[in-house]
Structure 1
Amino acid sequence: MLKQLNIKEFTVFEEANLRFGKQLNVIVGENGAGKTHLLKLAYAGLATCWEEGNKPHLAPSAPTKTILQKSLADKLIGVFRPETLGRLVRRKPGRGRCDIKLTFTDAAHNLAFGFATNSKTEVGIELLPEQWLQTAPTYLPTRELLTIYPNFLAVYENHYLEFEETWRDTCRLLGGLMRKGPKEKRIRELLAPLETAMQGSIELDKSGRFYLRNANGLMEMPLVAEGLRKLGMLARLISTGALLDQGYLFWDEPEANLNPSLIKQVARTIVELSNSGIQVFIATHSLFLLRELEILLADKPLDTAFFGLHASDNGITVQQGASLYDIGDITALEESLQQSDRYLALED
């Protein structure tokens, strides 16, 4: 499990030290506060250490600086899409440098690296992992990917596209084979509520197109409501086993384009996945989702950490704790509460 992320001078952050919960981690903040940056940074580090270790000619080998300094830089550029690597250093007068450290429960996976504003294609490795990661992290962007899946990987690999590399990575997982064997029962348990909400199941045909199969037959994915497509993407990753074994899920704004009923289902699935051995990281500014998580956690406590992102004169600061009440006031949440008060006042 990822225990801690320490960053200095990275994008909007002067310095931040995030101590993660073993099961669920919730990052809350305004638009532009850096929620997605934190998810992508942690994901890029984990994904690099898994991808390199799973290349056939490297699998038996231990990590080396030569491999990581280039592959990690490539991953950061692919995930964030800056013009150069150095553009990820926090903007301020003169030259600067950012430093990043990922600390794991198993110290053999610990990684520290840095780069300066003039860096283009390599990072400096300060602490080299002793082992590659054995499980792939999964990143769910705000947009669903089932509709773009047909031929997307082939086009992405052979042409330069201004799409984040997280899209390619997730599409690779979406195309995985259905998981069979002793864990099928657990897969069905996780899938059942999602398929009830979708009123159907997700199928991938030989042409590479996804469909929703329901009582009326097969429906092309572009004709399915976007909120249901997001649930479908989650269901597909569960059915292939990508979200089953010990691993990591990074989910940016799970509530995007979902109605409250579906947000409730997403919250239940997040808690179930967290309770199944997946370390979950979500970024949100939805009061409805946060309250739903609080309700569920009251009945099923998890090792959870909350992080509030706040603007200051020195960039974004991070306030953290075991509950939503420990992370300070978030304007987006306060606005939602005030709107409720104004609405109730109309009835007085």
Structure 2
Amino acid sequence: MLKELRVRNLTVFSEAELHFSPGLNVIVGENGTGKTHLLKAAYSLLAVSAEGGRKYKETPPTKTTLQTALAEKLTGVFRPEALGRLARRRRGRTRCDLALQFEDGACDIACSFTTNSKTEVSVDKAPLRWEQSEPIYFPTRELLSIYPDFVSVYERHYLEFEETWRDTCLLLGAPLRKGPKEKSISDILAPIEKSMGGSIVLESNGRFYLKKPEGNMEIHLVAEGHRKLAMIARLIASGILLQKNYLFWDEPESNLNPKLTKAIARTILNLCQLNIQIFIATHDLFLLRELDLLFKEANRSNSCYFGLHDDGEKVLVLQGESIDDIGDIASLDETLDQSNRYLDFSSGD
């Protein structure tokens, strides 16, 4: 389990320390406050350790191995012109520090780089062993429609797409589990497939389809909101998501109507109940309220909220166990303001 993320001089952050819940972690903030940057920073360090465990297995981590891997991952995920561009902009030379702390301290990892770094990373703390559970990252865009041949093209050519797309596409292509589905998989899949009106299949031509009673529908012809649901349905059906302990999801509500957003919120709760640690970034009031209601109804207290607030010079982070603990939420303020204007206009009529 990931316990803490510490950043110093990362993009808009002067200094931030996030203490995570073992269940749901929600990062809330306006556009430009660094929500996605926090997700990507945690994901990058975690993915490097997990990939190291898969590649090197019994060989313990070394600073030499980590230096190259961390630099490549951070550059691939964030896509800066140079690694030093991720450091907070200020006069003079700035050093950016990133650190992850785990429940198992043997996996703790920390690194740093400066504004003039091209591809150089200093490993300030190397883990004693590799992390065993790999993370999954869902970007704001659905990936099923670009899946055919995307990974092979990405590996052979430089594309201006962040590496999380490649990482997730690799997982989407994993074969389905053979034999009867585990009850946990069936229970989570059922409401998702009901919302989509079918199940997701990967045919031998390398394309995804929505399998409906009346026949298969090309994934390109499926509504984008349903394609986002289909991504998580695919990883649940293959068992991939249930084998991983970490899910990072950037704006799950993007391009979804409230009905589908409710399905996403319910899925997030179900995954947390299977001991998957989830990190999401959002500024959607409907999703925030739905998650808050569902977790309260289920008597789940393992959630944490982080509010990002720009004071004009840097972004500050407030955190607590509910949305009431993280300061003003812009989406709530704007919704109330709109309601008041609407009522005033109606009264005027």
Contact 1:260–1:288 at 8 Å: present in 2 too? yes
Counterpart of 1:317 in structure 2: which amino acid?
L
Counterpart of 1:3 in structure 2: which amino acid?
K
Q: Which whole-Å CA distance do the structure 2 matches of 1:277 and 1:243 have between them? A: 11
Partner of 2:146: 148
Q: Which whole-Å CA distance do the structure 1 matches of 2:321 and 2:43 have between them? A: 22
Across the aligned residues of Structure 1 and Structure 2, the Cα RMSD in angstroms comes to: 1.2
Q: Which whole-Å CA distance do the structure 2 matches of 1:340 and 1:49 have between them? A: 48
Partner of 1:294: 292
Question: Is structure 2 residue 205 aligned with structure 1 residue 221?
Answer: no
Contact 1:211–1:219 at 8 Å: present in 2 too? yes
Change (3 A) 1:244 1:318: same
Q: Which whole-Å CA distance do the structure 2 matches of 1:102 and 1:66 have between them? A: 19
Q: Which whole-Å CA distance do the structure 2 matches of 1:198 and 1:288 have between them? A: 20
Partner of 1:320: 319
Partner of 1:204: 202
Spell out, residue by residue over 1:65-102, the C-alpha distance to the aligned partner (whole angstroms, 9 max, x if none).
01001100100000000001110000001111011110
Contact 1:145–1:171 at 8 Å: present in 2 too? yes
Counterpart of 1:243 in structure 2: which amino acid?
L
Partner of 1:267: 265
Q: Which whole-Å CA distance do the structure 2 matches of 1:276 and 1:236 have between them? A: 17
Partner of 2:307: 308
Q: Which whole-Å CA distance do the structure 2 matches of 1:104 and 1:205 have between them? A: 39
How many residues matched? 346
Normalised by the length of structure 1, the TM-score is 0.97
Q: Which whole-Å CA distance do the structure 2 matches of 1:43 and 1:329 have between them? A: 27
Shift of 1:119: 1.1
Most deviating of 72-81 and 45-54: 45-54
Three-state SS of the structure 2 residue aligned to 1:244 is: helix
Counterpart of 1:29 in structure 2: which amino acid?
G
Shift of 1:118: 1.2
Q: Which whole-Å CA distance do the structure 2 matches of 1:341 and 1:275 have between them? A: 38
Partner of 2:234: 236
Among 99, 113, 116, the residue aligned to 1:115 = 113
Spell out, residue by residue over 1:240-299, the C-alpha distance to the aligned partner (whole angstroms, 9 max, x if none).
222113510000000000001000000000111111111000000000001111110111
Question: Is structure 2 residue 39 aligned with structure 1 residue 49?
Answer: no
Counterpart of 1:293 in structure 2: which amino acid?
L
Partner of 1:74: 72
Counterpart of 1:330 in structure 2: which amino acid?
I
Shift of 1:347: 4.7
Shift of 1:6: 0.7
Q: Which whole-Å CA distance do the structure 2 matches of 1:123 and 1:29 have between them? A: 29
Shift of 1:198: 0.2
Counterpart of 1:327 in structure 2: which amino acid?
I
Contact 2:134–2:244 at 8 Å: present in 1 too? no
Contact 1:310–1:318 at 8 Å: present in 2 too? yes
Spell out, residue by residue over 1:155-179, the C-alpha distance to the aligned partner (whole angstroms, 9 max, x if none).
0011110100000000000001112
Question: Is structure 2 residue 46 aligned with structure 1 residue 29?
Answer: no
Contact 1:307–1:319 at 8 Å: present in 2 too? yes
Q: Which whole-Å CA distance do the structure 2 matches of 1:199 and 1:10 have between them? A: 43
Contact 2:25–2:304 at 8 Å: present in 1 too? yes
Contact 2:136–2:244 at 8 Å: present in 1 too? no
Among 158, 164, 167, the residue aligned to 2:165 = 167
Partner of 1:86: 84
Shift of 1:181: 5.9
Most deviating of 157-166 and 329-338: 329-338
Three-state SS of the structure 2 residue aligned to 1:147 is: helix
Partner of 2:40: 40
Three-state SS of the structure 2 residue aligned to 1:269 is: helix
Most deviating of 237-246 and 207-216: 237-246
Shift of 1:330: 2.2
Q: Which whole-Å CA distance do the structure 1 matches of 2:228 and 2:34 have between them? A: 23
Task: Give ranges in structure 1 of 5+ residues lacking alignment.
Answer: none
Q: Which whole-Å CA distance do the structure 1 matches of 2:180 and 2:95 have between them? A: 49
Most deviating of 116-125 and 167-176: 116-125
Q: Which whole-Å CA distance do the structure 2 matches of 1:119 and 1:229 have between them? A: 39
Normalised by the length of structure 2, the TM-score is 0.97
Q: Which whole-Å CA distance do the structure 2 matches of 1:168 and 1:25 have between them? A: 24
Most deviating of 241-250 and 9-18: 241-250
Contact 2:135–2:244 at 8 Å: present in 1 too? no
